Amino acid sequence: MAATAREDGARSRQRGQRGCEHYDRGCLLKAQQTCEECSTLFGEYYCNICHLFDKDKKQYHCENCGICRIGPKEDFFHCLKCNLCLAMNLQGKHKCIENVSRQNCPICLEDIHTSRVVAHVLPCGHLLHRTCYEEMLKEGYRCPLCMHSALDMTRYWRQLDDEVAQTPMPSEYQNMTVDILCNDCNGRSTVQFHILGMKCKICDSYNTAQAGGRRISLDHQ
């Protein structure tokens, strides 16, 4: 065994020294930030729980997450229900879903909990990678899981109000109504059919879907 260790040490020196002169075999290296013999620093950051060596990126170990995260620590808090470290500006201002961080990102299908990419919390409480969220907004505005609006659409809805008012439907459609389901408030209502969009009577959102067939009002048949 000792002879094998010396041979491995010799091969390591031939390949080039790693760490310091006291480091002969990678498998025999005691996990710590500095060498006990010469105090050589193996990493600016070292976690004695994860045994993670890295450059200083303001990392901190979160006991609840069970891993090290990029900080600084004072900028984040751990949400016990979501089971994830989130930015301080979301404390008390986000919708919690039990263990939502253990779900994969619905856009890229990659892990969220251990990802180095910051998680973005949608108003509905679902999580996406920040980069995936930004890409999603180039194509649409709804959560890919529940279809809830992924951002505040109030300004756009008011613009759509103006467009609907300026775009009258042909006479055969002017008295047509339809049942709709709102993806934002989950309410149901009966509204006038319009090709540009159908507005929820409960929350004024146009994020709606037709939930029944079209019909002509009896007063105008």
Residue (of 79, 65, 81) closest to 116 by Cα position: 65
Asked if 121 and 190 sit in the same domain, the reply is: no
In this predicted structure, the answer to whether residue 44 has a pLDDT above a threshold of 70 is: yes
In Å, what is the CA distance from 46 to each residue of 9, 20, 117? 25, 17, 21
91-122 per-position pLDDT tens digit: 988 999 999 989 999 999 999 998 888 899 99
Domain range for 86 is 45-139
Asked if 54 and 131 sit in the same domain, the reply is: yes
CATH code of residue 208 = 2.20.28.10
- 155 domain residue, yes or no: no
Cβ(71)–Cβ(54) below 8 Å: no
Residue (of 93, 82, 52) closest to 70 by Cα position: 52
What does the alpha-carbon distance between residue 27 and residue 203 come to, in Å, rounded to a whole number? 62
- 70 domain residue, yes or no: yes
Asked if 52 and 120 sit in the same domain, the reply is: yes
∠ Cα 94 112 72 (to 5°): 70
Q: Which residues contact 200 (CB under 8 A, 6 or more apart)?
A: 180, 182, 184, 185, 187, 189, 191, 206, 207, 208
- 11 domain residue, yes or no: no
Highest mean pLDDT among 82-96, 132-146, 207-221: 132-146
Asked if 70 and 122 sit in the same domain, the reply is: yes
141-191 per-position pLDDT tens digit: 999 999 999 999 999 999 999 999 999 999 888 889 999 999 999 999 999
What does the alpha-carbon distance between residue 201 and residue 180 come to, in Å, rounded to a whole number? 10
Intra-chain end-to-end CA distance of the chain, in Å: 97
Domain boundary among 96, 123, 139: 139
Residue (of 121, 44, 126) closest to 77 by Cα position: 121
What's the pLDDT at 175?
85
Q: How many domains does the chain have?
A: 2
50-66 per-position pLDDT tens digit: 878 778 888 889 999 98
Asked if 178 and 134 sit in the same domain, the reply is: no
Question: In sequence order, which ranges of the chain are alpha helices (DSSP H)?
Answer: 2-15, 130-136, 154-165
CA 217 distance to own-chain centroid: 45
What's the pLDDT at 30?
61
- 174 domain residue, yes or no: yes
- Mapped onto helix, strand or coil, the DSSP state of residue 22 is coil
- 122 domain residue, yes or no: yes
Q: Are strands 208-210 and 176-182 parallel, antiparallel or unpaired?
A: antiparallel
What is the mean predicted confidence (pLDDT) over 34-53? Answer: 76
- 32 domain residue, yes or no: no
Residue % of the chain over a pLDDT of 70: 79
Mean pLDDT across the chain, nearest whole number?
Answer: 83
In this predicted structure, the answer to whether residue 208 has a pLDDT above a threshold of 90 is: yes
- 7 domain residue, yes or no: no
Asked if 53 and 128 sit in the same domain, the reply is: yes
